Structure 1
């Protein structure tokens, strides 16, 4: 039996060998990529932290200043009047009587047989104009021609002009009428309608104020002190007069063109709802509002606790590290929050007024204790909250504007350096893989050649063995 002196196989799994070798070669690149992912996670975490810091800072702006309490207005009869007190208002009591509310003017035309009946006589002048003005405001001019010479057409043209007048067409049972209503209240906002039938640029010529054609819509009357029409050009009919609101405040009679009045009592917005000829007296009381302070403090507590919880998540735990675990900026911020909200301000702490921390650093507000403190010494409460808010705002601003941006910038620069190193390593790894693959291809060829030589030797030895057997 022939013996193979060289046992060589020319079949090498080049891909498997090269892949395993490259796994070792890629370890430095993988470590860089892991570091890049970690740095990006830190940058993202700082972004979340900045957002929560900004929300807390916004609430602190409401806790500064002498009018921390806010003001409120109460009205003895809200059927007649409603009131809102701004923080700039002063405490006081006012006695108000209302004669009448302010109203806007409405006028209507003579009756037409339908809303599509022609209004202007275009047989002589095919294009005519209407000029409508409310008070001293800029007038609008509407052209009337064959395209819109109907009640509905004129209505639509007026409304398209986007003016201080609203136009409608109403069927009152006696016919269709064009109704014009001012969008503004008060005697100074009465409606004037002028007509230019010969289209020569001059309105209210004698022939343009009669009751024919487009002149049916002319309206420029005179009024008495109550807003009733007494003369002038009144081809349209007034259905509601434009009058000012008339009221008395502590016996002083005043008028206003609007029912929404914000210039009568400084810091107080009034809305007149009903008048009864001065018969009823409504008492308006403006006082400080502790509920507004509670609302501001609750907003602060909510934003503070959201930040505390965010810090906790970013720190992580022993079982699961957070994105900013062990970060000095985060730990410094946590210490600052606790220190500023527990420190002594002029012998007073927030704890005395109902703002307390639990063992996890979560803040809560005891409104009963706050009410008691306000009753005993409102000045101390406001001064302490002011000082805390100012101190915390300064600290937070430093983190928002300096500490965190500096840290983020450092991480961003590190990421750029890592990415450059990754690019360099990737190119080197490509070359390394090509070189390894070529080496094993060459080795595979050599083994194939050796296998061929081995086979030839085996054949020769087999021949020698067979010759020896014949002897």
Structure 2
């Protein structure tokens, strides 16, 4: 602003101007900051929501690990993932009534799902490969001077021609034989007996098969080397071809290999040595108890990791409020999941509980495993262990089985299956309600939204039948369903919460973006407005300066 003052007969005018020196930018930013303060509070909400998402994702991962651990203990016979059922894992236990180590005589591999049993094995002869040699040659590198073709093969195989020229040495003939050994079934080697004694050795690549050799044209190379005699027979037989001979529970078996996979279904024998007279090896095909024990330990480990997380989320501060680390304190989803997990672990089947497995809770509800109790139960009560853990299925019809399973079907019901004259299934119902199922070929599929959702049954009968079905949801099965039902990345309850939070975060981010855009627009408007004010005030200052100059001139004339 400007001021004009006068004293006596003379007039003195003075002007002061602060307007031109005002910090318009600071004023503008102060107004804009007030508008952006709303965005700051929304940013705080975003941070809290993102922290919750991270916590839920950690919970999801922990439950997923628990579900995976429980799954191998829950899969029933006949289920589509039967290969993952740890109770189908097999191993062979070997013992002998001799003084030797059984595994030095016999090796055994067992396929998963093989029938359990015990077998008495005696090995009386190992299979051997036919092996013949040439006469002694003074050098392995000198040209031998033979020009001829001979064929090599084994009984039951394909003979292959080998061509020899006069510039080839013993080593080069062996190399020519080995070039076609994959077709002929015969391989060659040069054996150094001494500095002046080398022999060509031919060996059948398979045991129990005789080598065949025939001169085709030109020089009779093999006869010249002394491999064959004048009659065409082998002159120097190092080892006869022999079949393996063993007895299984007193029944003699002969094979041309020491690897025998077709004597017992799902069992492969590897013969290493013969059993001494009056001794045998006992082979017990059994469930792989180590795999079962490892899977139970895995359940314990994954549950305890989950329990650590839950305890963190329930922590309180000294003031009795939620601790900073308790992001999901009093969270309804976590509370529901925890209730389902604990209910599953407290499952009782035929009066047996997790105590049968050597499991118990400590003071903090962590699982504790007694290895001795578990080992005793696996050795003496395996069927009870399996019944406690597995989902089980029984039906009154041998032509009816379960392919996939759900989680809510009654533990017992009667399924009425109707079949037409061609043997095709026309309907399936429980209590006369056919809307509970849909039919696709031989498959009977539980309808969505019903208690039978998730179940797929297979019926291969050709006549209508009422089938009594009994189901049992074991501890591991229930634990898998509880953990997977929450953790599943597509349909799980936790994923639903995460999706909702991410949607809210996206909305918050959109709100912040809108506020920031409006604040930027406000800054632009204020900047333009104050620029106009600045221009007007500069003009006024110029006018005042002009008037002052005129007054000063008038005063000086007086």
User: Is the CA contact (8 Å cut-off) linking 2:361 and 2:367 kept in structure 1?
Assistant: yes
The C-alpha deviation readout for 1:216-255, integer Å capped at 9, x for no partner, is 6897x8xxxxxxx9964437x4333221223445654432
Q: Is structure 2 residue 216 aligned with structure 1 residue 191?
A: no
User: Is the CA contact (8 Å cut-off) linking 2:20 and 2:538 kept in structure 1?
Assistant: yes
Aligned counterpart, 2:298: 302
1:276-291 matched pairs, under 5 angstroms: 279-284=277-282, 286=284
Aligned counterpart, 2:9: none
Aligned counterpart, 1:200: none
Structure 1's 215 and 463: CA in aligned 2 closer, same or farther, altered over 3 A?
A: farther
Aligned counterpart, 2:513: 426
Which residue, 335, 342, 348 being the options, matches 2:339? 335
Q: Is structure 2 residue 94 aligned with structure 1 residue 73?
A: yes
Aligned counterpart, 1:447: 534
Q: TM-score if structure 1 supplies the norm length?
A: 0.71
Alpha-carbon distance in structure 1 between the residues aligned to 2:308 and 2:129: 60
1:49-448 matched pairs, under 5 angstroms: 49=62, 51-61=64-74, 72-75=93-96, 76=98, 77-78=100-101, 81-84=105-108, 86=110, 88=114, 90-92=116-118, 94=120, 96=122, 98-110=123-135, 114-118=139-143, 132-137=152-157, 149-153=168-172, 155-156=174-175, 159=178, 163=182, 164-173=185-194, 174-185=196-207, 187=208, 189-193=209-213, 204-205=215-216, 207=217, 211-212=220-221, 232-234=232-234, 237-249=236-248, 252-264=251-263, 269-275=268-274, 279-284=277-282, 286=284, 292-293=288-289, 295-310=291-306, 312-313=308-309, 316=313, 317=315, 318-321=322-325, 326-370=330-374, 380-386=384-390, 387-399=474-486, 404-405=491-492, 407-408=494-495, 411-412=498-499, 415=502, 419=506, 422=509, 426=513, 429-430=516-517, 432-448=519-535
User: Is the CA contact (8 Å cut-off) linking 2:152 and 2:159 kept in structure 1?
Assistant: yes
- Which deviates further from its counterpart, 417-426 or 384-393? 417-426
Which residue, 20, 25, 33 being the options, matches 1:20? 33
Compare relative contact order (CA 8 Å, sep 6+) and give the higher one, 1 or 2: 1
User: Is the CA contact (8 Å cut-off) linking 1:95 and 1:281 kept in structure 2?
Assistant: no
Residue 95 of structure 2 aligns to a residue whose secondary structure is strand
The C-alpha deviation readout for 1:154-211, integer Å capped at 9, x for no partner, is 54555555725444333332344443433322x2x333355xxxxxxxxx44x45x53
The C-alpha deviation readout for 1:117-142, integer Å capped at 9, x for no partner, is 456756xxxxx866543443456666
1:54 is displaced (CA, Å) by 4.1
Residue 541 of structure 2 aligns to a residue whose secondary structure is helix
Alpha-carbon distance in structure 2 between the residues aligned to 1:20 and 1:349: 64
Alpha-carbon distance in structure 1 between the residues aligned to 2:163 and 2:531: 96
Alpha-carbon distance in structure 1 between the residues aligned to 2:507 and 2:139: 82
Coordinate RMSD, CA, aligned: 4.7
Structure 1's 417 and 244: CA in aligned 2 closer, same or farther, altered over 3 A?
A: same
1:288 is displaced (CA, Å) by 6.0
Residue 9 of structure 1 aligns to a residue whose secondary structure is helix
Structure 1's 211 and 377: CA in aligned 2 closer, same or farther, altered over 3 A?
A: closer
Alpha-carbon distance in structure 1 between the residues aligned to 2:173 and 2:517: 80
Alpha-carbon distance in structure 1 between the residues aligned to 2:232 and 2:35: 102
1:261 is displaced (CA, Å) by 3.4
Alpha-carbon distance in structure 1 between the residues aligned to 2:502 and 2:181: 58
Number of aligned residues: 438
More strand by share: 2
Alpha-carbon distance in structure 1 between the residues aligned to 2:200 and 2:27: 92
Alpha-carbon distance in structure 2 between the residues aligned to 1:404 and 1:450: 67
Residue 356 of structure 1 aligns to a residue whose secondary structure is strand
Residue 297 of structure 1 aligns to a residue whose secondary structure is helix
Residue 45 of structure 1 aligns to a residue whose secondary structure is helix
1:440 is displaced (CA, Å) by 0.9
More helix by share: 1
User: Is the CA contact (8 Å cut-off) linking 1:29 and 1:426 kept in structure 2?
Assistant: no
The C-alpha deviation readout for 1:259-318, integer Å capped at 9, x for no partner, is 233444566554332237x635234263867xx536513432333332342354266333
Residue 15 of structure 2 aligns to a residue whose secondary structure is coil
Residue 3 of structure 1 aligns to a residue whose secondary structure is strand
For structure 2, the residue ranges without an aligned partner over 5 or more in a row are 1-11, 77-84, 316-321, 391-473
Q: TM-score if structure 2 supplies the norm length?
A: 0.62
